[in-house]
Every structure is written in C-alpha cells, then in structure tokens.
Amino acid sequence: MRILGIETSCDETAAAVIEDGYLLLSNVVASSMDLHAKYGGVIPEIAARSHIESILPVIQKALKDAKCSWNDIDAIAVTYGAGLGGSLLIGVLAARTLAIVHHKPLYAINHVEAHVYANFLTQTDLPGYTMRQSQPTFPILAIIVSGGHSQLALFDDHFTYKLLGQTQDDAIGEAFDKVAKMIGLPYPGGPNISKAAMHGDGFAIKLPKAKMNEKYDFSFSGLKTAVLRQAQAQIGQDYTFPSTKLPERLSEPQKANIAASFQRIALETMVDKALLAFQEFSPSSVVIAGGVAASPELRQQLLDRLPLPIDFPDLKLCTDNGAMVATLGYFKAVSRQAQADPYSLDIEPNLSM
Ligand code: KG4
Ligand code: ZN
C-alpha cells in the first residue's frame, strides 16, 4: 500500500510517498526558512504564500522521485493541525482537491502524532539517509520535542496513548530559538545552538531546572529568563541591560558557553522526565520525535542515561516532513480508522494530542 503524505503546518512545504508503513520512496521538502531568517522567526503570511507557490511542484516531485503515477497511490494523508492557519489551509485544500480528482481515500493527520510515526520508517533506497534498524514495539514511550510541542506520551498501541506530561509554557524548540536570538545566533536557533555549543562548556554557566507540581510536566520559560540574567552578568551588567544589545557585547567564547549550558540543562530536563517515565512504565521502546530530536546532545544524553538501546530516526525525518504524515496515514488505513470527507475537511490550528 502506497500513501502520499502532505505537510504544510509551518514553514516547510513537504510531500512524500511511503510504502507499507516502513519503506520511504520519496521525501521532498521545500522550506521558506531563508525568507523568515531576516525576521528571526516564521512570518505566517510569508509562509502561506510560499506554500501556495511550492505545493504542486513539491507533490509532483514526490511522485516522480517515488516513480509513481496517481494509479500507484492508494491514499492521501494530510496534516490538518496543529499549526499556522494559513499554512495548514494550503496543504488541506490541495489534499482535498487531489483526493476528489483522483478518487483516493483521504486521512486527516495530527502533526504531533505524525512526528512519532517517523520512527516506523526503516528502509529506503534514497541516498543520504541513516534509517532505524527496526520499528519500535509497543508499549512505546515517546519523547516529543518540537518547535511547538514538548510532551511525553505512552503509546500502548496504534491510536491508544496517554499523555503523561507536557510543557506548561514554551516548547523546548521555541526556547532554543529564543535563546539563539538572545545571543545573536541566526534562525532557526536549534541547529545553531547545537553548533555553537560544540565550542563551549556545558557546565560553565549555572542554570536552574524548573520544579513542577505534576511529575511529568516541564517548563522552559524560567530557564530562558535565567539565561538572559546570566548573559547580562557575563558582560558585567544587571537586569536592566537590553537583551537586544547582548549579541554585540558577548564574546564568541561567552556565546558558546551560554549555548552549551542552556542546551545541556534544557535537554536534561526532558531526559530526567523520560527516565522517570521509563522506570514507572517499563516501555518496550523509547522514541524521540520532532525537530529537537535532531539534536546530537539529546541523542547522547539518552544513550548515556536510558538503560535500553535506542534507535534514532534520520535527522531529515525529525524536522517537518511529509513522510511521517504518510506513515501515520498508512497505519490509519490498515486499521480502518475513519477517513476524512474531502468535501468538508477543515483545519484545526489548535489541535492537541
Ligand atoms: O518539529 P519541527 O520541525 O517543527 C515543529 O513542529 O515545531 O521543529 C522545529 C524546531 C525548531 O525550534 C528548531 O530550532 C529545532 O526544532 N531544531 C533543533 C535542531 N534542529 C532543529 N533543536 C536542537 N538541535 C537541533 N539540532
Ligand atoms: Zn513539527
């Protein structure tokens, strides 16, 4: 069974074809990131316009790379939430139209759940991919760390999961992006914090971990403020010093130490909770999902601290892509989950897990 997946929830216009829930046949991503970089964050209007321009060429390339015609596609899966309204709308309208024109079943996909399903892809002939050795087995503990979400979820089976905990304020990726901006690293912050941190000492700057009432919840807002105060202190200033002037005053070694210390604490916060959940629920597999799952530091901390071998998805399957959407679509199709109505499927920008 071959599924076409379409993803346009943020600034990536993405489409992919997967087969039987494990084989990646194509994975095309056109990002409007460069257009947002000069603003230091995604501008919804610009993202939506870019989706309009890219959506059809991206879908056509996904079919071509997979050597598929429409006859070879069994169903279409599309992200309908969570995300930016204007962005989601382009993907959903394209998918609805294509489903009607080509008489294909349509599946509506939750973006955050889809991130978890990147872990089911284990094979590809595409060049440049390092795939997982095997699919995860249930029960699965999912550590979800993206730009918009930070959650711990326990999956007992496909479509049967419970949310153990989540962030009470910023998502972890958002915190990476904001700290990067604060110390003058370019957008997107996550990969640039990762790079800068390689030259810094993760123990150089003392930062707090938030204490939460709920065992599996976390918070990153206080950490962000603590980073600001420490950055001000590094240049001998107090809390009144404007954050916008920090980049020009901080030296490269100071920036590297801030990046490394923030990264260590932010990721440790997630790994601490994952370890607690591992001890309580004894999952058979632990998976990481979302853009921050591309972080080498997160992968290293998990390998060091969790008492089971962990298999990681390819970096290109961690950030937003159509393959994860198609994979979840496949499992919906084979488990006879409800199809979406191509004449009425609406977006849900605030969809949660
Ligand atoms: O999942 P994603 O592509 O988009 C959302 O669904 O939000 O995640 C994007 C987030 C951004 O905040 C970005 O800074 C972060 O993932 N990210 C990273 C790395 N690569 C991307 N964070 C830390 N280390 C990385 N290597
Ligand atoms: Zn995402």
Give residue 35's pLDDT. Answer: 86
Give residue 37's pLDDT. Answer: 82
* Cα 173 to middle of ligand 1, angstroms: 5
Kindly state if the Cβ of 7 falls inside 6 Å of ligand 1.
no
Give the number of other Cβ atoms within 10 Å of residue 273's Cβ: 20
- Pick from 33-47, 76-90, 221-235: least confident: 33-47
- Pick from 32-41, 156-165, 275-284, 315-324: least confident: 32-41
Give residue 33's pLDDT. Answer: 84
Kindly state if the Cβ of 21 falls inside 6 Å of ligand 1.
no
Is residue 241 classed exposed, middle or buried when 0-12, 13-18 and 19+ CB atoms within 10 A define those classes? Answer: middle
SS (H, E, C) the chain: CEEEEEECCCCEEEEEEEECCCEEEEEEEEECHHHHHCCCCCCHHHHHHHHHHHHHHHHHHHHHHCCCCHHHCCEEEEEEECCCHHHHHHHHHHHHHHHHHCCCCEEEEEHHHHHHHHHHCCEECCCCCCCCCCCCCCCEEEEEECCCCEEEEEEEECCEEEEEEEECCCCHHHHHHHHHHHCCCCCCHHHHHHHHHCCCCCCCCCCCCCCCCCCCCECCHHHHHHHHHHHHHHCCCCCCCCHHHHHHHCCHHHHHHHHHHHHHHHHHHHHHHHHHHHHHHCCCEEEEECHHHHCHHHHHHHHHHCCCCCCCCCHHHCCCCHHHHHHHHHHHHHCCCCCCCCCCCCCCCCCCC
Q: Which residue is closest in CA terms to ligand 1's atom 13?
A: 190
Pocket test of ligand 1: the residue of 146, 166, 167 to mutate, having most ligand atoms within 8 Å of its CB, is 146
Give residue 200's pLDDT. Answer: 98
Give residue 215's pLDDT. Answer: 93
- pLDDT beyond 90 at 31: no
Pocket test of ligand 1: the residue of 112, 292, 317 to mutate, having most ligand atoms within 8 Å of its CB, is 292
- pLDDT beyond 90 at 40: no
* Cα 100 to middle of ligand 1, angstroms: 34
Mean pLDDT of 288-309: 96
Mean pLDDT of 85-100: 98
Mean pLDDT of 27-47: 88
Structure tokens at 74: 């069994």
Pocket test of ligand 1: the residue of 111, 176, 220, 270 to mutate, having most ligand atoms within 8 Å of its CB, is 176
Give residue 39's pLDDT. Answer: 83
Structure tokens at 312: 């990681």
**Quick one: which atom of ligand 1 is closest to the CA of 83?**
6
CA atoms of 321 and 249, how far apart (whole Å):
37
CA atoms of 177 and 40, how far apart (whole Å):
9
- pLDDT beyond 90 at 245: yes
- pLDDT beyond 90 at 222: yes
Give residue 32's pLDDT. Answer: 84
**Strand duo 23-31 + 123-124: pairing:** parallel
- The answer to whether 106 and 96 are in contact (CB under 8 A) is yes
Contacts for 334 with CB less than 8 Å, ≥ 6 apart: 1, 21
**Quick one: pLDDT band at residue 41, thresholds 50, 70, 90?**
confident
**Quick one: which atom of ligand 1 is closest to the CA of 171?**
12
- pLDDT beyond 90 at 30: yes
- Give 140-152 pLDDT, tens digit per residue: 999 999 999 999 9
Q: Which residue is closest in CA terms to ligand 1's atom 16?
A: 291
* Cα 120 to middle of ligand 1, angstroms: 20
Mean pLDDT of 147-162: 96
Give residue 137's pLDDT. Answer: 98
CA atoms of 244 and 250, how far apart (whole Å):
11
Give residue 212's pLDDT. Answer: 92
Give residue 122's pLDDT. Answer: 98
Mean pLDDT of 259-280: 97
Give residue 24's pLDDT. Answer: 98
Mean pLDDT of all residues in the chain? Answer: 96
**Whose CA is closest to 177, among 269, 291, 30?**
291
**Whose CA is closest to 159, among 341, 336, 317?**
336
Structure tokens at 340: 């979406």
Contacts for 93 with CB less than 8 Å, ≥ 6 apart: none
Give residue 188's pLDDT. Answer: 87
**Whose CA is closest to 77, among 67, 88, 92?**
92
Which chain residues have CB less than 5 Å from ligand 2, an ion?
146, 320
Mean pLDDT of 107-113: 98
Give residue 154's pLDDT. Answer: 98
Mean pLDDT of 171-192: 95
Phi, psi angles (nearest 5°) of residue 145: -135, 90
Q: Give the position of tokens 């002939």.
A: 125
